[in-house]
Amino acid sequence: MKPNRITFPLIILALGMVVCSPDCRAWGQKGHDVTCAVARKHLKKKARKKIDRVLDGQSIVYWSNWLDNASHTPEYAYTKTWHYKNIDADETYENAVLNPDGDVLTAIQAQIAALKSGTLDKEAEALALKMLVHLMGDLHCPMHMGHKSDRGGNRWQVQFFGNGKNLHGIWDSDILESAHKWTFSEWVEEIDTGGKPEYSEIVKGGPEDWGKETYMLATQIYEQTPVGSKLSYDNVARWAPVIERQLLKGGLRLAAVLNDIYR
Ligand SMILES: [Zn+2]
């Protein structure tokens, strides 16, 4: 069919959907906001003060999702692959061939090192901080440790309440949004209910260990969600608590990292 006035915009829209496929997105806006809002709550006074100065009074929640949009602009196109670390089924977390353009773990470690170096000017420090607060959310997003072969679940087709979706998308947003219609503050109120002994266990280790945990979770999800799965209420019930836990862990660990940087 020759494009006419009606089909042409549809073609453009379809092309846009391909180009902007959510490969480098994660959690959706809500998940990143929740992660950063949990972290903000657990910042020590000193860290809060210093971050406040670096971000000119804006909060880490304000910047939580900025990198997902920035990565689609020419200025920050170099960060496009920084949101995930894909690992094929025949690889392990340890021996996976890394993307030469960067991956989430390498990018997190680089931002932490840069922020700790004390050599950044204010603008560079703000940029590293904005990247770090987002990427710590991505590190806890299971399909951001998905297979290279299916582009982190983007080519793993399933049905979600009768609609054709891919595994990546339902883990970024659909399960989370179906589970609770909470604002990010309500999310924090509902999931951040643990005590000190539990939380000090959660923040043990470092980004490498936390990434491995996410990878193990992704492996489990692939096993339990074969291509063509028809997912609905039981799936939301099964996985929502896992997502709640990942958001809490991401937030607590981000706070731990920031408290350590801004001691
Ligand atoms: Zn992202």
Burial class (CB in 10 A: 0-12, 13-18, 19+), 167: buried
139/39 Cα distance (integer angstroms): 14
Determine the distance separating the centroid of ligand 1 and the alpha carbon of 85, expressed in angstroms.
11
Q: Which residues, other chains included, contact 174 with Cβ-Cβ below 8 Å and sequence gap of 6+?
A: 160, 165
240/232 Cα distance (integer angstroms): 12
Nearest by Cα to 79 from 93, 91, 68, 64: 68
Determine the distance separating the centroid of ligand 1 and the alpha carbon of 4, expressed in angstroms.
36
Q: Rounded mean pLDDT of 32-57? A: 98
Q: Rounded mean pLDDT of 164-168? A: 96
Question: Residue 27's pLDDT is what?
Answer: 81
Determine the distance separating the centroid of ligand 1 and the alpha carbon of 200, expressed in angstroms.
26
Q: Rounded mean pLDDT of 149-154? A: 96
pLDDT of residue 2 exceeding 70: no
Question: Residue 44's pLDDT is what?
Answer: 98
Question: Residue 19's pLDDT is what?
Answer: 39
Question: Residue 10's pLDDT is what?
Answer: 45
Determine the distance separating the centroid of ligand 1 and the alpha carbon of 27, expressed in angstroms.
8
Determine the distance separating the centroid of ligand 1 and the alpha carbon of 172, expressed in angstroms.
10
Percent of the chain with pLDDT over 90: 89
Determine the distance separating the centroid of ligand 1 and the alpha carbon of 26, expressed in angstroms.
5
Q: Rounded mean pLDDT of 123-135? A: 98
Task: Copy the structure tokens of residue 173.
Answer: 């947003």
Determine the distance separating the centroid of ligand 1 and the alpha carbon of 65, expressed in angstroms.
7
pLDDT of residue 13 exceeding 60: no
Domain extents in the chain: 23-261
Instruction: Give per-residue pLDDT as tens, 180-207.
Output: 999 999 999 999 999 999 999 999 999 9
pLDDT category of residue 25 using cuts at 50, 70 and 90: low
Determine the distance separating the centroid of ligand 1 and the alpha carbon of 219, expressed in angstroms.
20
pLDDT of residue 155 exceeding 70: yes
Determine the distance separating the centroid of ligand 1 and the alpha carbon of 1, expressed in angstroms.
37
Percent of the chain with pLDDT over 70: 90
Determine the distance separating the centroid of ligand 1 and the alpha carbon of 3, expressed in angstroms.
34
pLDDT of residue 6 exceeding 80: no
Looking at domain 23-261, its CATH class is: mainly alpha
pLDDT of residue 71 exceeding 80: yes
Determine the distance separating the centroid of ligand 1 and the alpha carbon of 224, expressed in angstroms.
24
Question: Residue 140's pLDDT is what?
Answer: 97
Determine the distance separating the centroid of ligand 1 and the alpha carbon of 21, expressed in angstroms.
12
195/140 Cα distance (integer angstroms): 21
Task: Copy the structure tokens of residue 33.
Answer: 């906001």
Determine the distance separating the centroid of ligand 1 and the alpha carbon of 132, expressed in angstroms.
10
Phi, psi of 135 (to 5 degrees): -65, -30
**Coil, strand or helix: which one is 101?**
coil
Instruction: Give per-residue pLDDT as tens, 90-112.
Output: 999 999 999 999 999 999 999 99
Determine the distance separating the centroid of ligand 1 and the alpha carbon of 83, expressed in angstroms.
5
Question: Residue 26's pLDDT is what?
Answer: 66
Q: Rounded mean pLDDT of 74-88? A: 97
Determine the distance separating the centroid of ligand 1 and the alpha carbon of 67, expressed in angstroms.
6
Determine the distance separating the centroid of ligand 1 and the alpha carbon of 105, expressed in angstroms.
12
Question: Residue 35's pLDDT is what?
Answer: 98
pLDDT category of residue 176 using cuts at 50, 70 and 90: very high
Q: Rounded mean pLDDT of 119-142? A: 97
